Structure 1
Amino acid sequence: MRYPSHITLVEVGPRDGLQNEATPVPTDVKLQLIQRLAAAGLTHIEAGSFVSPKRVPQMADSADIVRALQPAASPLHYPVLTPNLQGFDAALAAGAREVAVFAAASERFSQRNIQCSIADSLARFAPVLAAARQHGVAVRGYVSCVLGCPYEGDIAPQAVADVSLRLLEMGCTEISLGDTIGVGTPAGVRRLLDALLPQIPASQLAGHFHDTYGMAIANIVAAMECGLATFDSSVAGLGGCPYAQGASGNVATEDVVWLLNGLGVECGVSLEALLDASALISGFLGKPPASRVARALLAKRGSE
């Protein structure tokens, strides 16, 4: 089986992973986490989210994070979530050079999550994309519920394609396909990509798999077999799944790196250095990492 020769990992732990944590994480700990992730070789690290601090208090210090990272002077990529023009303006003022917007492939999920239709959500993003073009800021598009919705069940692949194509037409450079509730299987991934790839090149698609049912790693392999070479992951498996009570969320970066090492596929990430980042944030939160690889290797490290 042929896989892409190099995989790009987009580390989402500091934003998507931490945003739902009940324990407040101080700015200095977040910065230490990001610095350790960068030291491990990760070049794309979500740094924060410019949303209402009342709605997501864990992300209230995102401007401070971006200013400290100085992304304009860094060769690394520190994208931030900007759901509207107000968030984009705040991110730009802090120095952000890459942002992201979120849409859904499920109409009912869009209504429940952001209280508007898919069409209305895309209309909200239009001024963000226009401002981004004006300022030379790259925009990544996320599409939720690509393999299933907690309210609608199965989602038609063409519904995913329609939203993805619209985001690309508006100016997004890449679409991250999110299995938000983690119900996807390799067969479902192949069906989805069989529908999307004739319309969108693999170079503009990324996989964002949740591990609710333990299928995330298998789904990544299936997507790699279809030609995808960019995947989102979260250090220590940070991030729960709010639509499946008690279930795990984002696939762990450590597990993905272990997979890629075993396949002989380059990703540029040192697993040993990544464990330092995993140990830091897991120790602060007072819980073991959700990553099986991290648990095994940290226990081995502790016994040596």
Structure 2
Amino acid sequence: MTRLIEIVEVGARDGLQNEEAILEVADKVELITRLEACGVKRQEVVSFVNPKRVPQMAGAEEIMAALPADPSRSRIGLVLNERGWDRCVAAACDEANVVVCASDGFGIRNQGASVEEQIATLSTIAGKKAAAGGPPISLTISVAFGCPFEGEVPLDTVVSIARAGAALGVDEIALADTIGVADPWTVRKRVEAVRHVVGDTRLRLHFHDTRNTGLANAFAGVEAGVDVLDASVGGLGGCPFAPNATGNIGTEDLVYMLERAGFETGLDLNGLIETAGWIGQKIGKAPASSLWRAGVFPKAAA
């Protein structure tokens, strides 16, 4: 049986949050809908942050209200604090992606909280879910491979956060290379170390291609046994609080690599390339993905 790799599409959230262009709610909904038509099952679609700080993410509730309910899809909301969790629940997101930064420097700039304070917030959110219900929680450990303000991030810090998340019963734990500094060997080591302390908790990986290592890191993660990877259509992305961080790995590039290698993704490659071109026109920028420029191989017979 061919191994299935699940791709979590993050273009509508992480992809757009650092773009100069600010799209209307209708355009964001169309992007999400186009990606779902390409076969995307899990998609990070909104961020429950202060729109004054990140105006690109305004309209989260309106976006969720405009998307028709679909039990075959999972629309994910990004959550940074208790208020974000409350908004995520009220908006009826299918999942909450709660972020804990692996360095105090990044956490204070990005979320106004130290690592310890962010873990306390995660604990509060988990408690609210246990008491009143709510969507599954995915914990993303940001700057898990390096911080733009503190440099190298100790493995022990990442493992400690992952252990805390698993103890709180989160449904998934992701290691995020927020600024694109990871290498394949470090990916393998960190995956193995985290897996050792989280038991059967599902792992996910999130890579940026800032230093042209994104796909190599994704492949290393797959070889280490991870079956869930984030990607962004057209290679969109960045982080407003991470200097020089560029886009995520392109969804179409990742699909091409995996399917050429014999894995299954369930995604329509040509549809993704078309969608990359469409969103590129909307934001006034050519997609960064290689597949958008080069096309698929082999070409269909004339």
Normalised by the size of structure 1, how large is the TM-score?
0.91
Kindly provide the amino acid, as one letter, of the partner of residue 89 in structure 1.
D
- Correspondence 1:1-304 to 2 at 5 A: 5-71=3-69, 73-133=70-130, 134-201=132-199, 204-242=202-240, 243-245=242-244, 248-297=246-295
Measured in 2, the distance between the counterparts of 1:83 and 1:31 equals: 22
* Residue range with higher mean Cα deviation, 141-150 or 89-98: 89-98
| Gap change, CA 1:44 and 1:16, over 3 Å in 2 | same
In the TM superposition, residue 203 of structure 1 has moved relative to its aligned partner by: 5.6
Question: What is the RMSD computed on CA atoms of the aligned residues?
Answer: 2.1
Q: Check whether the contact 1:141–1:175 (CA below 8 A) recurs between aligned residues.
A: yes
CA distance in 1, matches of 2:200, 2:237: 26
Q: Is the 8 A contact 1:288 1:295 kept in 2?
A: no
Structure 2 CA distance, aligned partners of 1:263 and 1:220? 13
Q: Please say which of residues 144-153 and 280-289 is displaced more in the overlay.
A: 144-153
Contact kept, 8 Å, 1:248 with 1:290, in 2: the verdict is no
SS of the residue 1:45 aligns to = strand
SS of the residue 1:231 aligns to: strand
Letter in 2 for 1:94: A
Quick one: which amino acid aligns to residue 189 of structure 2? R
- Contact 1:157–1:191 under 8 Å retained in 2: no
Once the two structures are superposed, residues 86-110 of structure 1 have per-residue CA deviations (whole angstroms, 9 ceiling, x without a partner) of 2222222222231111101223222
Identity in percent: 37
Deviation at residue 122 of structure 1 after TM alignment: 1.5
8 A contact 2:13–2:44 mirrored in 1: yes
Distance verdict in 2 for CA 1:199–1:77, change over 3 Å = same
Structure 1 residues 223, 4: closer, same or farther in 2, change over 3 A? farther
2: CA distance, partners of 1:103 / 1:4: 34
Structure 2 residue identity aligned to 1:104: C
The question of whether the paired residues in 1 share the 8 Å contact of 2:166 and 2:201 is answered with no
Tell me the secondary structure at the aligned position of residue 205 of structure 1: strand
Return the offset for 1:241.
4.7
Using the alignment, how far apart are the partners of 2:67 and 2:261 within structure 1? Answer: 33
Whether the 8 Å contact between 2:14 and 2:239 is mirrored in structure 1 is no
- Measured after TM superposition, the shift of residue 117 of structure 1 is 1.3
Residue by residue, what CA displacement relative to the aligned partner does 1:34-65 show, whole Å, maximum 9, x if unpaired?
11100111100111011111111111111011
Structure 2: distance between partners of 1:90 and 1:166: 24
Amino acid at match of 2:127: A
Cα distance change on mapping 1:93 and 1:113 into 2, 3 Å: closer
Gaps of at least 5 residues in structure 1 are none
Q: Deviations over 1:130-165 (max 9, x none)?
A: 223322411111101111111222222221111011
Give the Å deviation of 1:211. 0.4
CA contact 2:48–2:79 (8 Å) conserved in 1? yes
SS at match of 1:123: helix
Paired AA for residue 192 in structure 2:
D
Moved over 6 A (4+): none
SS in structure 2 at match of 1:80: strand
- Name the aligned partner's letter for residue 108 of structure 2: Q
Supply the AA of the counterpart residue of 2:85: F
1:22 is displaced (CA, Å) by: 1.5
8 Å Cα contact 2:80/2:111 also seen in 1: no
CA-to-aligned-CA distance 1:114-134 (integer Å, 9 cap, x gap): 222111111123332222332
**CA separation in 2, counterparts of 1:163 and 1:124?**
12
TM-score, normalising length from structure 2? Answer: 0.92
